[in-house]
Amino acid sequence: MSLLEVENLKLYYPARGGWFGRGSHVRAVDGVSFEIAPGETVGLVGESGCGKSSLGRAVVRLENPTDGHVRICGVDVTRLSGRELRRERKNFQMIFQDPYGSLNPRLTVLASLDEVLAIHSGLDRERRAERAGELLRMVGLDPSLLGRYPHQFSGGQRQRIGIARSLAAEPRLIVADEPVSALDVSVQAQIINLLEDIQKTTGTGFLFIAHDLAVVEHISSRILVMYLGRIVESGPAREVCGSPRHPYTKALLSAVPRVERDGRRRIVLSGDVPSPLAPPSGCAFHPRCPLAKPECAAKTPELSGNSHRCACFFA
């Protein structure tokens, strides 16, 4: 059984006023399907504004999907609410992008961790304090720091605390929403290594969201490439990065700095990412695609293939 099953997930935000008037919707996520196996890391990449974070938030029910299904450990969490949803959250948690905004500045580290432990662990206060110290050790911090406040830590240390908080419920799945993008390069490597070590120890599955393909290629076994709310390519990380099929994936990879010369030329896309309020007809990428033909504007390509899938008529 899959750890996570996402089936035809849609998340539309109503547009308030503006040029397009009432009744318009921002199609942040527009019919996405994929699975994650237990203990697997799947990377989700794409430009800013493509819907990556919206998809991650919908998976953990921080946003209510417009349509579709999200099954975690066999339970359809899109059909849960109230007490049932709170009880099920033990199985899935989220690491947020901003290490400065994701922690309550008025709470000590101990209080932040204790909030989660009090709800999901069933431990008494003394044992919860011991468990908080264990969680800090897991993320490479000394338990003596439990009494400190967020402003007393660096960005990398805060992100480690955020990771510790996500581990407090002992979840089966963690959605990591660009967990290293706000950090220095040297700290990024430390956090990536930490997540890999945690996965080896706990067997937790990850949906790792990022815009940096080099980072995603390093940590993921499979990669999903997203453009304007849809998955345009998916497959094993080595295949997607080594032999990309979709023109958009090729453009993303051409922008990744590489030490070795691999003969890959830089692909500069024309134009801007279209507005999700008024997406292009047919293939959403066709206004910027060097391979586009008339049928690309008339029909929407579906993901096709076996393990390595691509939504392009000419890939």
Ramachandran region of residue 218, left (φ > 0), alpha (ψ -120 to 50) or beta? Answer: alpha
* Structural domain spans, the chain: 4-310
What's the CATH class of domain 4-310?
alpha beta
Question: Percentage of the chain with pLDDT > 90?
Answer: 72
pLDDT, tens digit, 9 for 90 and up, residues 250-299? 988 887 766 555 556 767 677 777 878 888 899 999 999 888 899 999 99
* 3-class DSSP state of 93: strand
Report, as an integer, the average pLDDT of 27-52.
94
Count other C-beta atoms under 10 Å from residue 102's C-beta: 20
pLDDT, tens digit, 9 for 90 and up, residues 135-172? 999 999 999 999 999 999 999 999 999 999 999 999 99
Helices 155-167 & 185-202 angle (0-180, nearest 10): 20
Average per-residue pLDDT for the chain: 90
In the chain, what are the helix, strand and coil shares in percent, each to the nearest 5? 35, 20, 40
Phi, psi (rounded to 5 degrees) for 4: -130, 130
Task: Please give the sequence-ordered ranges of beta strands (E in DSSP) within 132-183, or none if there are none.
Answer: 173-177
